[in-house]
């Protein structure tokens, strides 16, 4: 690779993208592509790790042992997703410890959806149904990302996310067959999570400056608004089957468009939460920072032990 002239390398890269083939870690790639991929994968990894917190808080309080097992397995899966993704970022020359520092110092983002609190156990079900559902809508096209390690990680992640979504929906179905108080819990959770779920697709296309380049590089396959529309269209019949109302008076079928129309999203709220002023931003980062600090002596010990075994100083 290194003996190729850059123009030739760039031509190979462009052809790879055009032919819908995969860029692999050892291939030449533009610096912008590398940086964008590291940022995209790291943000996804951070989201998996921070995303363990809102649901993880309910593991010890789950109201049946079966639900406890399901939730514990799900949160474990999220740790696993984080691990694959950090590993995919490391193939591009990033370092997991460095990415973690960027997260806890607030220099890299994670999905703003995790800055909302989980107030009742119904939130666990609604996160599975709507939040994991929106994540799947975003992530299924990424199984065809032009960057090979990310695309392959996404295939496995999407399969597991699909489990999680169905589990969440099944919990809600069960609760809706329960007491009146449980049905109210489900509706309340839907009311709180619906709009933040729509915001998971990011700003409207007109205000998404990086979309064009990302789509040209085939690391993004659909625009934010396309994916958001798909999510709304999929969710409406699910809500009807469940027996809950989605909290949007403007939500209705538009036969001309062949899609559901829906109300205006409160973009100022999204901006506020992304910029750090959501209900739980400070707490989520503080928790992660504390875990990192509390574990420092353990990681240092592991490194020292490994060095002793190899006969070199730590």
Partner 1 sequence: MSFDDAYQALTDHDDDARWAYGTGFADPLAGVPTALPDGVDGADLAAYCLMIGDDALILSHRLQQWVTRAPELEDEMAIANIGLDLLGQARLLLTRAGEAEGTGRDEDDLAYLRDPADFRHVRLVERDDTDFGQLIARLLVFSTWRLALLDRLATSRDPVLAAIGAKGVKEVAYHREYAAGWAVRLGDGTELSHRRMQDAVDAVWPLLGELFTPHDVEVRLAAAGVAVDPASLRPEFDTVLTEVLRAATLDMPAADTAEAGGIVPVGATSPASGAVSAGGGTGGRDGRHGDELAAILAELQGLARATPGGVW
16-75: which residues touch partner 1 (CB under 8 A)? 49, 52-53, 56, 59-70, 72-75
Among residues 156, 221, 222, 287, which is the contact residue for partner 1, using CB under 8 A?
Answer: 287
* Residue 311 sits in the site that holds partner 1 (CB under 8 A): no
Please count the residues of this chain forming the interface with partner 1, following the rule CB under 8 A.
72
Nearer to partner 1, 35 or 61 (CB): 61
Q: Which residues of 264-285 are buried (b: 16+ CB within 10 A; e: fewer)?
A: ebeeeebeebbeeebebbeebb
Name the minimum Å distance from CB 207 to partner 1: 26
DSSP E strands, the chain: 252-254, 259-261
Q: Rule CB under 8 A: choose which of 16, 115, 118, 165 binds partner 1.
A: 165
Q: 3-state DSSP: the chain helix, strand, coil percent, rounded to 5?
A: 70, 5, 30
Q: Minimum distance from CB of 169 to partner 1 (Å)?
A: 6
List the one residue out of 132, 113, 119 whose CA is nearest residue 75.
Answer: 132
Residues 178-237 binding partner 1 (CB under 8 A) are 178-179, 181-182, 234-235
239 binds partner 1 (CB under 8 A): no
Residues 241-280 that bind partner 1 (CB under 8 A): 241
Supply the minimum distance, in Å, between the C-beta of residue 126 and partner 1.
14
Q: Which of 137, 190, 199, 200 binds partner 1 (CB under 8 A)?
A: 137
Q: Interface residues for partner 1 in 81-120 (CB under 8 A)?
A: 82-83, 86, 96
Residue whose token pair is 């474990």: 76
* Contact call for residue 295 and partner 1 (CB under 8 A): yes
Q: How far apart, in whole angstroms, are the C-alpha atoms of residue 142 and residue 129?
A: 20
Instruction: Give me 213's structure tokens.
Output: 């380049």
Q: Helix, strand or coil for residue 277? A: helix
Helix (H, G, I), strand (E, B) or coil at 73: helix
* Residue found under tokens 């850059």: 6
Question: Where do we find the tokens 């190979």?
Answer: 12
Instruction: Considering the complex, state which of residue 29 and residue 51 has its C-beta at the smaller distance from partner 1.
Output: 51
User: What is the C-alpha to C-alpha distance for residues 222 and 215, in angstroms, rounded to an integer?
Assistant: 7
Task: Select the span of 107-115, 136-144, 249-257, 269-277 touching partner 1 (CB under 8 A).
Answer: 136-144
Q: Does 177 bind partner 1 (CB under 8 A)?
A: yes
Residue in 175, 186, 232, 246 binding partner 1, rule: CB under 8 A: 175
Task: State phi, psi for 24 to the nearest 5 degrees.
Answer: -110, 160
Q: Judged by CB, which is closer to partner 1: 162, or 245?
A: 162
User: Among 41, 94, 153, 171, which residue interacts with partner 1 (rule: CB under 8 A)?
Assistant: 171
For 19-64, where are the alpha helices, taking DSSP H only?
31-50, 52-56
């Amino acid at each position: 690779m290194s003996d190729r002239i850059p123009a030739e390398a760039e031509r190979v890269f462009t052809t790879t993208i055009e032919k819908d083939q995969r860029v692999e870690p050892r291939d030449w790639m533009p610096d912008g592509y590398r940086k964008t991929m590291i940022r995209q994968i790291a943000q996804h990894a951070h989201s998996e790790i921070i995303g363990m917190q809102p649901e993880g808080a309910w593991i010890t309080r789950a109201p049946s042992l079966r639900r406890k097992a399901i939730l514990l397995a799900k949160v474990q899966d999220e740790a696993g997703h984080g691990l694959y993704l950090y590993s995919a970022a490391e193939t591009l020359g990033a370092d997991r410890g460095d990415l973690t520092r960027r997260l806890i110092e607030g220099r890299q983002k994670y999905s703003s959806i995790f800055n909302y609190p989980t107030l009742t156990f119904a939130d666990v079900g609604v996160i599975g149904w709507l939040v994991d559902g929106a994540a799947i809508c975003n992530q299924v096209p990424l199984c065809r990302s032009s960057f090979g390690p990310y695309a392959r990680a996404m295939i496995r992640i999407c399969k597991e996310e699909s489990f999680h979504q169905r589990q969440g929906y099944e919990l809600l179905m069960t609760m809706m067959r329960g007491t009146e108080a449980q049905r109210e819990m489900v509706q309340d959770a839907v009311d709180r999570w619906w709009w933040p779920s729509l915001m998971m697709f990011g700003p409207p296309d007109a205000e998404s400056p990086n979309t064009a380049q990302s789509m040209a590089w085939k690391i993004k396959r659909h625009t934010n608004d396309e994916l958001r529309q798909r999510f709304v269209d999929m969710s409406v019949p699910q809500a009807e089957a469940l027996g809950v109302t989605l909290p949007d008076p403007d939500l209705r079928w538009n036969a001309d468009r062949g899609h559901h129309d829906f109300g205006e999203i409160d973009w100022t709220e999204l901006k506020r939460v992304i910029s750090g002023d959501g209900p739980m931003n400070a707490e989520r980062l503080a928790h992660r920072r504390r875990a990192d600090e509390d574990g420092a002596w353990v990681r240092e010990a592991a490194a020292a032990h490994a060095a002793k075994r190899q006969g070199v100083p730590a």
